[in-house]
Structure 1
Amino acid sequence: MVNMSGILAFFVGLVMVGLVSSAKFDELFQSSWALDHFIHEGEQIKLQLDKYSGAGFESKKKYMFGRVSLNLKLVEGDSAGTVTAFYMSSEGANHNEFDFEFLGNTTGEPYSVQTNVYVNGVGNREQRLNLWFDPTKEFHSYSIFWNQRQVVFLVDETPIRVHMNLEHKGNPIPKDQAMGVYSSLWNADDWATQGGRVKTDWSHAPFVATYKDFEINACECPVPVTAAENAKRCSSSEDKSYWWDEPTMSELSLHQSHQLLWVRANHMVYDYCSDTARFPVTPAECVHHRH
């Protein structure tokens, strides 16, 4: 489960031609709420949650196509009821969104990560898996890659979810809206742990999530520019070539496909595609997705 052959080689070795941003936290992000629960410690950022407030941050710019990544050490100990979120989102009722949501647990239980994809304001595409390591002991990398062909969620460079472009089958893909990058730590004990049965134990507060190694390698989108102009600006053409449009970035490599199958077979605990109670008719994209 280490050594990726296709996507990682491009992320690390390719000379990137697009509008690329990779910098320290203050150059890419800013606190978005509860500044008093937000701590700078050298190159690390800490978000705190107590019974009064959580905290969050957001990117200073918006992007369309590329990759965003950070290293995160999740809340230690009894974190039941808490959610640490790392996600991308556009604005408005018909927004697009890619979510990592790390669901707290009682001490000794596996940490779960829930992913979701919103397209034109419609989500309900949850997948949940138990991580194969303790994410509270060391930093691990969490990344989102997206282009016009696919959205890929990665944990330590291992793909854990792929959402493919199936427009030819009538299923839209989030490829026409500039998105900001966000993270937050908040209380969600009405649903986060065992469906809300386990509540947050505030005697363990403050709960702390720690971040470092922030990276955004993506196409920056000026605020006043229209969605159509941004899509054209961030797509390859005869006079420019972007790394995210390279043929090898259009689908997983064989090795990555095997990694994804391993994750699904050994660590997935919920997939909306298999939830016949919520979806008596299988969602269309589930019929066509082969990963």
Structure 2
Amino acid sequence: MGTFFFIFFFRSFLFLLLSSSVSSSSRVFPIIPFDEGYSPLFGDHNLIIHSDSQTVHLSLDESSGSGFASHDIYLHGYFSASIKLPSDYTAGVVVAFYLSNGDMYEKNHDEIDFEFLGNIRGKDWRIQTNIYGNGSTNIGREERYGLWFDPSEDVHHYSILWTDSKIIFYVDEVPIREIKRTESMGGDFPSKPMTLYSTIWDASTWATNGGKYKVNYKYAPFVAEFSDFVLHGCAVDPIEHVTNCDNSLQTSETLPSSDVTHVEKIRMDNFRLKHMTYSYCYDKTRYKVPLPECVIDSRQAEKLRKFDPVTFGNGRHRRGKRHHHISKEAASF
């Protein structure tokens, strides 16, 4: 009997492994040199492009942070990079990999965010994801997670898939969040052409425990490494904002399937149940009723409620203890 179960579970594991490999290979796109797709954005003296144009270092010191931006603006696509984060004491430091059109639409911009939030020595980096559409910054759709590895020890792959119907965030080819466009979201779903940005900057006012721990420049420079650049999207004319390739981008030949497979769904659910520490959908302090697009998982609700009974429980303070609402501009778990 023991041998039978061993063979059964081994075959199941092998199936999951092979299925995962097939899924990952479907998202292999050409890696481009930095100078073919990007230009420095700010902090030039803190941006180092290696001679082969395959690797870039962004650093933060007392004088400045740094960043770069894509040459083109895109309407939908698959965007990724391998990133190694700064090590040691990184409180107050934020490294970001994101799409935005804030320079073109000051009052109604769209945004899709990967933000990496530094921490004090001995505490792990956290990931925050978020979206805005049509300037909907008054509605926070943040989620935050821990990781199953130390992102400062080696490079890891972070990707964003953006189509007209959904957005998926990936870490090392594992989907960690899927946002489906719903009628109830209206213009809150990002729908205008955007630029891809990567930055490192001082977010002492909010990034670590609501600003309790600031950037300590004793540990500067804080250096983030970027490589394996993929910009596989539909470039849009910056003046006319028109494109002829949007329809073709929905085909399997040009973009990976936007459908999360059964195996990917299992991996995503497992990641979220184990590593997610905050989601707006479960925040009863901010939203007495979850936003319409939220799909509540009872297991996740129970796990988060035990983690923070005020935020994810009844939304009320208990026994006179002081609790603070948490948002992008506030503490990260």
| TM-score category of the 2 structures, normalised to the smaller one | 0.7 to 0.9
1:22-61 correspondence runs (5 A): 22-42=31-51, 43-61=54-72
CA change 1:173–1:149 in 2 (3 A) is farther
CA distance in 2, matches of 1:80, 1:203: 12
Please state how far the C-alpha of 1:9 moved relative to its aligned partner.
3.9
CA change 1:104–1:86 in 2 (3 A) is same
Greater RCO structure (CA 8 Å; 6+ sep): 1
State the TM-score, normalizing by the size of structure 1.
Answer: 0.87
Runs of 4+ in 1 over 6 A off after TM superposition: 288-291
CA distance in 1, matches of 2:45, 2:245: 38
RMSD value over aligned CA atoms? 2.5
Structure 2: which amino acid aligns with 1:196? G
Count of equivalent residues: 276
User: Quick check: 1:84–1:183 contact (8 Å CA) kept in 2?
Assistant: yes
* 1:283 pairs with one of 291, 294, 302: 291
The Cα offsets for residues 257-276 of structure 1, whole Å up to 9 and x where unpaired, read as 11110111000011111111
1:106-125 correspondence runs (5 A): 106-123=120-137, 124-125=140-141
- Single out whichever of 216-225 and 75-84 deviates more from structure 2: 216-225
Unpaired segments of 5 or more residues in structure 2? 1-15, 301-333
> Which residue of structure 2 lines up, in the alignment, with residue 255 of structure 1?
263
Please state how far the C-alpha of 1:47 moved relative to its aligned partner.
0.8
Please state how far the C-alpha of 1:11 moved relative to its aligned partner.
2.0
Structure 2: which amino acid aligns with 1:253? T
* 2:218 pairs with one of 203, 207, 217: 203
User: Quick check: 1:23–1:215 contact (8 Å CA) kept in 2?
Assistant: yes
1:195-274 correspondence runs (5 A): 195-226=210-241, 229-230=242-243, 233-236=245-248, 242-243=251-252, 249-274=257-282
Normalized per residue, the structure richer in strand is 1
User: Quick check: 2:281–2:296 contact (8 Å CA) kept in 1?
Assistant: no
State the TM-score, normalizing by the size of structure 2.
Answer: 0.76
User: Quick check: 2:20–2:263 contact (8 Å CA) kept in 1?
Assistant: yes
> Which residue of structure 2 lines up, in the alignment, with residue 67 of structure 1?
78
> Which residue of structure 2 lines up, in the alignment, with residue 82 of structure 1?
93
User: Quick check: 1:219–1:234 contact (8 Å CA) kept in 2?
Assistant: yes
> Is residue 154 from structure 1 mapped to residue 170 from structure 2 by the alignment?
yes
Please state how far the C-alpha of 1:10 moved relative to its aligned partner.
2.8
Unpaired segments of 5 or more residues in structure 1? 14-20
User: Quick check: 1:6–1:253 contact (8 Å CA) kept in 2?
Assistant: no
User: Quick check: 1:65–1:244 contact (8 Å CA) kept in 2?
Assistant: no
CA distance in 2, matches of 1:284, 1:76: 39
User: Quick check: 1:140–1:156 contact (8 Å CA) kept in 2?
Assistant: yes
Identity %: 35
User: Quick check: 2:163–2:250 contact (8 Å CA) kept in 1?
Assistant: no
SS at match of 1:4: helix
